[in-house]
Amino acid sequence: MVQSTKQINKKSLQNGKKKDKSATKRRAGIKKQKKTNLVKTVKRKSTRNKKKETRLDKLDSIWDTIFKRDIEGENREIIESIESTNNLPKQNDKPVIILLHATWCGHCKDLKPEWSKMKAEINKQLQDKIIIEEIENNEIDDKMPIIAKSYLNGNRIDYAGFPTIGSIRNSKFEQYGGARKADSLIEWARQLLV
């Protein structure tokens, strides 16, 4: 039996429609599966967030325990000195000269006699007008928060090495870039008052 092309085309169209219907069903099934997976993912994420919150709560309680022990323990002096800075005025009208130095630093050792001369001169002439702060490298972690709170409205001093010399005026730190001689340092200190 020979089939005509019309009959062949009709059969292939019917087969194609059957295939299209099954493909549509598969697509609908996939969409439902994706929605189900999305709901499962959202549920998983919400349980993860609950777990994170409980972990954070545990960490907070641990931190409180450690901090309370620290207050009662060896760092009480540091905390008391930070608390004493709470009584200082927020804005300081006097310029502050700061030296960050290290005992092992060769440049710091060279600067030390010149810095001492400058400091003696300022204490003679400008004692009530300028504040001088010196911070050694092993005291930075302890004294930097006090300096930041007292003079910089909580901001930190960015330093790249030792010695770092600078001034704080109007709650802003300006690094000194001049010569490291007593005369230059004294002149710079006087200019801070202008």
CATH number, domain with residue 114: 3.40.30.10
Given a cut of 70, whether residue 106 has pLDDT beyond it is: yes
User: Band of the pLDDT at 89, cuts 50, 70, 90?
Assistant: very low
Q: Are 126 and 190 in contact (CB under 8 A)?
A: yes
pLDDT of 110 higher than 50: yes
| Prediction pTM value | 0.53
Q: Could you give the CA distance from residue 63 to residue 58 in angstroms, rounded to a whole number?
A: 9
12 inside domain: no
Cis status of the peptide bond prior to 163, with omega within 30 of 0: yes
Exposure letters 12-38 (e unless 16+ CB within 10 A, then b): eeeeeeeeeeeeeeeeeeeeeeeeeee
Q: What is the per-residue pLDDT for 124?
A: 87
Residues of the domain holding 102: 92-192
Tell me the mean pLDDT in the region 35-42.
61
- Residue range 131-182, pLDDT digits in tens: 999 999 999 989 999 999 989 888 888 888 999 999 999 889 999 999 999 9
Number of domains, the chain: 2
Residue 185 in contact with residue 118, Cβ under 8 Å? yes
Asked whether the predicted pLDDT for residue 88 surpasses 50, the reply is no
Same domain, 188 and 96: yes
Residue 24 in domain: yes
pLDDT exceeds cutoff 70 at 68: no
Mean pLDDT of 26-41: 63
Q: What are phi and psi of 98, to 5 degrees?
A: -120, 140
Task: For residues 103 and 187, state if they share a domain.
Answer: yes
On whether both 57 and 97 belong to a single domain, the answer is no
Q: How far apart are the first and last CA of the chain?
A: 114
Do 96 and 68 reside in the same domain of the chain? no
Q: How many CB atoms lie within 10 A of CB 113?
A: 10
Is residue 55 included in any domain, yes or no? yes
For residues 118 and 39, state if they share a domain: no
- On whether residue 6 sits in a domain, the answer given is no
Is residue 37 assigned to a domain?
A: yes
Band of pLDDT at residue 41, cut at 50, 70 and 90: low
33 SS3 class: helix
